[in-house]
């Protein structure tokens, strides 16, 4: 069978290590010239295929590809763009096949979360049906850690480490000032539906009374009275309280706590910000001085404090996607299989895309404390190895150095598809 | 002259490296047993003297003192507590002298900002007047970089590095998603009166169109129309815009932008948060999707990404305070004197406390761009060396290790002062 080209695309929210997976894919493809000619990367992910905007990664040096390992964000551009169902918008899938055919693309590597695995699955089905069989392999990625069938997802370990480090550092700050300043510090983390990121802050606790003291998860409705009582008791006992809260925290009636009816100067609903809502509660009901931080993109872009374990897994999964494809597998996603907690041992496995698509892995109930205000030792045992190890980027003039790719475009061969 | 004891206290907002200065003070004191017996550290800063809560640092191992270098926050506790003028509350100053006398304290090292240098100055004057001469030396500290008479203040270089790194990393994130997601990203930094921290984000810019694209400083009133036009032009040209804003930004009529009349669910003014106010402006007037981050304490506690230059200077200034005291200087503060920009060369100087007390060093006008929306090359030349070098803390289980001191208290010898 003659070698063919590959298409690689990044999808959804980017992470500190999605480019590390890209490096894994491209480097492994270069190791298999008998099967893969060139990896074309989509400009802005799957939009790059629809718009026939392809970057020829063959024009990048080995050094540049290796440097992707240290570069956060999406080096080729990512997109929040979910292809509809086959019945609703068959034209988009047909367009993908048209572009793939024009560039002799025989492999599709889709680096994303649940939606993206669903898309990769559909493309593999449609290609078959249209007489253009294409090998579709998912590469897992999501800071939310909510993909099923894998021990963890690349991107999560690094954001978990960032949040744990930030909690420990800011906790020391608050502790040292509490007597005359801030009593309650609130750190808002990402996580609309799953509390994995907020839960990881618990790793910061190195003794019984160390921060964080309360973790508010989206899996359980906020019991305001119980929460405030916990904060009050903590401040009375040790002088301060550190609260970590997931952006997706909800009230008992299912509303986001962040949507507290707050109005801005123009009278419009002020969106976002569960931290200020929690802070207002603390001030109104307890009267404590507070501060809050909203880490937002800083947490998922923080390559400077990435987990070495996460980086290693991101790279290995990128490589494995190519190895699986070359070995004849199709419509699968490589996964992390945990062999042991401590010391952490793992190997690469795989799941069918059909089993991953559109399913969400929530935190198990046994990871949440009985009072719903912290996580359990079982959660810590699961989380601990994921943040292990540092993998510092190179620095110049005090700042991390990131690669700037040549990003040369492949000449289009198809008519335009969208305006 | 027989050796006497020393009193060391941390004051005001803590930093990533105030404990590094503490290590410098304590280590230098141990090098001078002929002059200094023991360094007593105040529990919660100056309150520790008023309340006679003193920690005997002589009970700490050399390893523990050295590990202070890696530990953010205030290891002995700090306080936002400004002693009033001598005429208003002479009793507090007399109490200080009483406690100093009871513990044979001949040296007072006060590690803080402008207010603290003023206090150290007053104590030196009063001691003289009360027949209890005491050597008072200031040790500079403030993330705001607003102490006069020194090239920079310990704490600033590290927060500057944190903000520059965060801007570069988050900028890559936003750039890669802008086509289908966030167009405008806003990062709120500390800085009520001086824009040094926000200005430091400019160091992230490694090419003409790189983030940050706009910096809003407290030194200049917000020109909303000009600001929005700059954002619009930036998004139209490159697809996205990164804005860094100082918490102290003000409107033309002198109000804080953060106080936009926003009301929470209870109808109370929502305090803090210039970022959401700027975000609301962007949404209302330009209609762009936005995200914002509020780094808050994360920035000043971020020892994990401290500037090696800052760490070195913090330690050197702590040592110098002791060396000056032992050499017979009094009522002075050691300073950083810049000899050259690139390569950065500096040495330790000194200024009289009288010249530092209650004066604020603002950003010079020539550091702010003509359009008031960015900083100049002169500012970058000043800032660049201050973030140079990394000084990573040791890690265990994926998290930075911080020292937990024994913190043994000295037995009180005076009657209680406050309830």
Q: Do A265 and B266 touch (CB under 8 A)?
A: no
pLDDT over 80 (residue A190): yes
**E strand spans, B247-373:** 290-294, 332-341, 344-352
Of B177, B182, B264, the CB nearest to A262: B264
Mind telling me how many Å the CA of A105 is from chain B's nearest CA? 24
Q: Which CATH architecture has domain A156-301?
A: 3-Layer(aba) Sandwich (3.40)
Distance CA B336, CA B147 (A): 11
Candidates A172, A243, A256, A394, partner chain B, best to mutate (most B CBs within 10 A): A172
**Helix, strand, coil shares of chain B as percentages rounded to 5?**
40, 20, 40
Q: Which residue has the tokens 């020292």?
A: B403
Cβ B346 vs Cβ B313: under 8 Å: yes
Pick the CATH number of B4-141+307-359+391-400 from 3.40.50.720, 3.40.640.10, 3.40.50.450, 3.40.50.2300: 3.40.50.450
Query: Encoding tokens for residue B235?
Result: 């998004």
What pLDDT is attached to residue A278?
Answer: 95
H-helix or E-strand containing B239? none
Q: Give the closest-approach CA distance of A3 to chain B in angstroms.
A: 30
Residue B192 marked in a binding site:
yes
Cβ–Cβ below 8 Å for A170 and B305: no
pLDDT for A298-356, tens place per residue? Answer: 999 999 999 999 999 999 999 999 999 999 999 999 999 999 999 999 999 999 999 99
Does the bond joining B212 to the residue before it have cis omega, within 30 degrees of 0? yes
Q: Helices (DSSP H) in B217-286: which residue ranges?
A: 224-238, 274-286
Known binder of ligand: residue A247? yes
Say whether B80 and A168 touch across the interface (CB within 8 A).
no
Rounded-to-10 torsion of CA A182, A183, A185, A186 = -130
- Listed residue (B301, B321, B344, B410) closest to B38, CA to CA: B410
Q: Is A182 known to sit in a ligand binding site?
A: no
Q: A260-313: per-residue pLDDT in tens?
A: 555 544 454 444 689 999 999 999 999 999 999 999 999 999 999 999 999 999
Architecture of domain A4-141+304-358+390-400: 3-Layer(aba) Sandwich (3.40)
Residue linked to tokens 């299989």? A337
Residue of A nearest to B273 (CA): A276
Give the nearest partner residue to A398 out of B182, B263, B307, using CB atoms.
B307
Q: Per the structure block, which two tokens stand in for A375?
A: 């996580």
List CB contacts of A41: < 8 A, sequence separation 6 or more: A7, A8, A9, A10, A22, A48, A54, A55, A57, A75, A76
Put simply, the answer to whether B300 touches A173 (Cβ < 8 Å) is yes
* A211 chain-B contacts, CB cut-off 8 A: none
The length of chain A, given as a count of residues: 419
Cβ neighbour number for residue A83 with a 10 Å cutoff: 19
Q: Flag if B399 and A295 touch (Cβ within 8 Å).
A: no
CATH topology of A4-141+304-358+390-400 equal to that of A156-301?
yes
CB nearest to A179's CB, from B16, B75, B79 = B79
Residue B164 and residue A268: Cβ atoms within 8 Å? no
DSSP state of A221: -
Is the distance from CB of B275 to CB of B249 less than 8 angstroms? no
Q: Which residues of A touch B47 (CB under 8 A)?
A: 179-180
Provide the pLDDT confidence category of residue A362 given band limits of 50, 70 and 90. Answer: confident
Does B144 belong to an annotated binding site?
yes
pLDDT at A261: 57
Which residues does chain B have within 8 Å of residue A266's beta carbon, measured at their own beta carbons?
280, 284
Amino acid A271: pLDDT: 46
What mean pLDDT is predicted for residues A151-180? Answer: 97
Domain ranges of chain A: 4-141+304-358+390-400, 156-301
Residue count of chain B, please give it: 419
B397 contacts in chain A (CB < 8 Å): 203, 384, 387-388
Give the nearest partner residue to B298 out of A73, A166, A277, using CB atoms.
A166
Concatenate the DSSP letters of all residues of A273-342 into one string: -HHHHHHHHHHHHH---EEEEE-THHHHH-GGG-BHHHHHHHHHHHHHHHHHHHTT--SEEEEEEEEETT
Q: Retrieve residue A150's tokens.
A: 């894998």
pLDDT per residue rounded down to tens, chain B (419 residues): 799 999 999 999 999 999 999 999 999 999 999 999 999 999 999 999 999 999 999 999 999 999 999 999 999 999 998 888 878 888 999 999 999 999 999 999 999 999 899 999 999 998 888 899 999 999 999 999 999 999 999 999 999 999 999 999 999 999 999 999 999 999 999 998 899 999 999 999 999 999 999 999 999 999 999 999 999 999 999 999 999 999 999 999 998 998 755 554 445 444 468 999 999 999 999 999 999 999 999 999 999 999 999 999 999 999 999 999 999 999 999 999 999 999 999 999 999 999 998 788 889 999 999 999 999 999 999 999 999 999 999 999 999 999 999 999 999 999 998 76
pLDDT at B262: 52
> CA nearest A240: which of A170, A293, A295?
A170
Q: Confirm whether residue B298 is marked as ligand binding.
A: yes
Residue A244 backbone zone (phi > 0: left; psi -120 to 50: alpha; other: beta) = beta
Q: Are A72 and B172 in contact (CB under 8 A)?
A: yes
Phi-psi region of B105 (alpha: psi -120 to 50; beta: other; left: phi over 0): beta
């Amino acid at each position: 069978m003659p070698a063919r080209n590959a298409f690689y695309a990044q999808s959804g929210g980017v992470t500190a290590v999605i480019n590390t997976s890209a490096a894994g894919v491209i480097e492994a493809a270069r190791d298999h010239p008998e099967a893969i000619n060139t990896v074309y990367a989509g400009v802005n992910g799957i939009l790059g295929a629809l718009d026939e905007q392809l970057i020829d990664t063959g024009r990048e040096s080995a050094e540049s590809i290796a440097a992707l390992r240290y570069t956060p964000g999406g080096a080729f551009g990512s997109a929040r763009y979910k292809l509809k169902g086959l019945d609703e918008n068959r034209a988009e899938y047909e367009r993908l096949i048209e572009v793939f055919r024009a560039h002799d693309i025989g492999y599709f590597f889709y680096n994303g979360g649940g939606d993206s695995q669903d898309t990769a699955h559909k493309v593999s089905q449609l290609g078959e049906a249209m007489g253009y069989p294409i090998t579709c392999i998912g590469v897992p990625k999501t800071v939310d850690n909510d993909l099923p069938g894998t021990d963890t997802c690349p991107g999560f370990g690094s954001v978990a480490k960032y949040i744990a480090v930030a909690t420990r550092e800011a906790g020391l700050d608050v502790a040292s000032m509490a007597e005359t300043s801030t009593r309650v510090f609130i750190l808002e983390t990402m996580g609309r539906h799953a509390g994995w990121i907020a839960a990881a802050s618990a790793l910061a606790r190195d003794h019984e009374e160390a921060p964080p003291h309360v973790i508010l998860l989206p899996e359980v409705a906020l019991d305001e009275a119980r929460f405030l009582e916990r904060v009050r008791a903590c401040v009375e006992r040790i002088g301060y309280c550190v609260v970590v809260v997931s952006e997706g925290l909800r009230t008992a009636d299912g509303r986001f706590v962040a949507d507290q009816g707050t109005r801005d100067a123009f009278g419009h609903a002020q969106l976002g910000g569960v931290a200020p809502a929690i802070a207002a509660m603390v001030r109104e009901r307890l009267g404590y001085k507070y501060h809050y931080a909203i880490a937002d993109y800083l947490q998922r872009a923080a390559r400077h404090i990435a987990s070495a374990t996460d980086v290693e897994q991101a790279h290995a999964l990128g490589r494995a996607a190519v190895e699986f494809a070359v070995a004849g597998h199709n419509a699968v996603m490589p996964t992390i299989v945990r062999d042991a907690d401590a010391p952490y041992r793992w190997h690469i496995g795989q799941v069918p895309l059909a089993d991953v698509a559109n399913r969400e892995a929530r935190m198990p109930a046994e990871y949440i404390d009985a009072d719903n205000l912290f996580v359990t030792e079982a959660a810590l045992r699961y989380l601990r190895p994921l943040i292990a190890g540092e993998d510092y980027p190179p620095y110049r003039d005090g700042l991390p150095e990131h690669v700037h790719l040549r990003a040369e475009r492949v000449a289009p061969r198809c008519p335009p598809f969208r305006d």
